[in-house]
Amino acid sequence: MELSAAQAAVMMFLLSSLILSAVKAAEDFDGASILRRKLQSPVAGLCAQLIEPSGFPCSEHKTQTKDGFILGLQRVSSSSGNLRRQSGPPVLLIHGLFMAGDAWFLDNPNQSLGFILANRGFDVWVGNVRGTRWCHGHVSLSEKDREFWDWSWQDYALYDVREMIRYIYTVTNSRVFVIGHSQGTIISLAALTQPDIVEMVGAAALLCPITYLNHITARLPLRLVKMHLDQVFLAMGIHELNFKSDWCTRIMDMMCDGHVDCGDLLTSVTGKNCCFNSSRIDFYLEYEPHPTSTKNLNHLFQMIREGTFAMYNHGRWKNMWHYGQLKPPKFDLSRIPSSLPLWMGYGGNDALADITDLQHTLKELRSKPDLLYLENYGHLDFLVSTRSKEDVYDRMLAFFNSLEHLAVVTE
């Protein structure tokens, strides 16, 4: 149900008061300061911070998007290998919302997909989208500029993923195998509808695939959508969402103190995870969450409200300016070639990547992807389950191993 003008005004006032009091009081708030100590941003690069200490050779790379963002990529090889001598095809890892490339290395080398791929001989490339801490800003904009944060997942797909794949394709002279999780599947599938991108891709594996969000059951996102929190933040001129910041920490604490049931915050966001390694939460919080833009959250919430897999909705008249039509263009999944091998893993307890929405996706694809369904798996289990190697990754790798010939580029 849409808010009336009076309700919207009251909501704006209440949230404005909440945010302003949060900013003012954050430095004096003991609970927030305790959480912030867990959420200090790492200083060193991802290779030095997380990957090399586990014994894996790693090199840092930079590449620039057409709209001026400088992305960070990491290249990882086997703990017993050489960065230039990996025998397998290049694989690009694309992370989810409020995450970055570190998400693929948060558990030990026998459980983390990034390490497993490297030890199996794949040429592992770790992607980090704009705004995350492993990227390197913009050629002319500062993070303090409003324009720096004027993007959504549409730009991840059409600029960031395009540039990552182009860079890897150029360096390796091989088609790239793509792996995405959560939001990483949204931007992967959107990117694969573009002919100039998909011709550089050999195959794609998608964990918790999302293109439609009509049937999500995640309690907290649905509550925030109903509160129109994304629209309120944009109206107030808040363009960066950084949960490591003082005011975001304060707001989350105040919301959980009587406004939102945060007793099991992960379950309220992702659904019940069967095999999540809760003993490592303190370690995960040393790296997650990463920043994103309010516009990106607004775009994701548009998917829930409007039931579409489409470009960002600027409003009818601004859409005319940007797209030449009143409604934003849809990403047409039928444009993904039937010849592109696809693999998808999904779970029965996933409150974000709902099975009904996945069926909608499958109907629009021209090909029939290989599917892995795990009834007891939730959204995070596919990334940090204690059993993900046996349950998920071994099956994904069998799929990739059958396709290695597709990575070769013939002149």
168-182 residue pLDDT tens = 999 999 999 999 999
Cβ–Cβ under 8 Å, residues 290 and 98: yes
Look up the pTM and report it: 0.88
> Which of 57-71, 207-221, 247-261 has the lowest average pLDDT?
247-261
Cβ–Cβ under 8 Å, residues 225 and 301: yes
Residue type, 14: L
Write the pLDDT tens digit of every residue in 325-338: 999 999 999 999 99
Q: What pLDDT does residue 218 have?
A: 95
Tell me the C-alpha distance between 12 and 4, whole Å.
Answer: 12
**pLDDT(186) > 70:** yes
Domains belonging to the chain, first-starting first, are: 20-405 (3.40.50.1820)
DSSP collapsed to 3 states, the chain: CCCCHHHHHHHHHHHHHHHHHHHHHHHHCHHHHHHHHHCCCCCCCHHHHHHHHHCCCEEEEEEECCCCEEEEEEEECCCCCCCCCCCCCEEEEECCCCCCHHHHHCCCCCCCHHHHHHHCCCEEEECCCCCCCCCCCECCCCCCCHHHHCCCHHHHHHHHHHHHHHHHHHHHCECEEEEEECHHHHHHHHHHCCHHHHCCEEEEEEECCCCCCCCCCCHHHHHHHHHCHHHHHHHCCCCEECCCCHHHHHHHHHHHCCCCCCCCHHHHHHCCCCCECHHHHHHHCCCCCCCEEHHHHHHHHHHHHHCCCECCCCCHHHHHHHHCCCCCCECCHHHCCCCCCEEEEEECCCCCCCHHHHHHHHHHCCCCCEEEEECCCCCCHHHHECCHHHHHHHHHHHHHHCCHHHHECCC
Cβ–Cβ under 8 Å, residues 392 and 345: yes
Residue type, 119: N
Tell me the C-alpha distance between 119 and 150, whole Å.
Answer: 39
Q: What pLDDT does residue 4 have?
A: 45
Q: Residue 3's pLDDT band (boundaries 50, 70, 90)?
A: very low
Tell me the C-alpha distance between 15 and 7, whole Å.
Answer: 12
Tell me the C-alpha distance between 180 and 280, whole Å.
Answer: 22
Q: What pLDDT does residue 62 have?
A: 98
Which of the following is catalytic: 138, 228, 299, 379?
379
Cβ–Cβ under 8 Å, residues 75 and 123: yes
Q: 350: closest CA among 185, 174, 139?
A: 185
Query: Catalytic annotation on 278?
Result: no
**What number of CA atoms fall less than 13 Å from residue 69's CA on the CB side?**
26
**pLDDT(8) > 90:** no
Residue 315 main-chain phi, psi, to 5 deg: 105, 155
Q: What pLDDT does residue 85 have?
A: 59
Query: Catalytic annotation on 379?
Result: yes
The mean pLDDT of the chain is 87
Give the torsion through C-alpha atoms of 42, 46, 52, 56, to 10 deg: 150
- Cα–Cα separations (whole angstroms), residue 104 to 46, 63, 222, 338, 385: 11, 20, 27, 29, 12
Which of the following is catalytic: 350, 354, 381, 391?
350
Which of the following is catalytic: 78, 182, 188, 385?
182
Query: Catalytic annotation on 182?
Result: yes
Compute how many other C-beta atoms are within 10 angstroms of the C-beta atom of residue 395.
Answer: 14
**pLDDT(348) > 80:** yes
Q: Residue 127's pLDDT band (boundaries 50, 70, 90)?
A: very high
Find the angle CA(92)-CA(196)-CA(372) to the nearest 5 degrees: 45
pLDDT cut 70: percent of the chain above it: 82
Cβ–Cβ under 8 Å, residues 396 and 206: no
Q: What pLDDT does residue 388 have?
A: 96
Q: Residue 259's pLDDT band (boundaries 50, 70, 90)?
A: low
Largest CA distance in the chain: 64
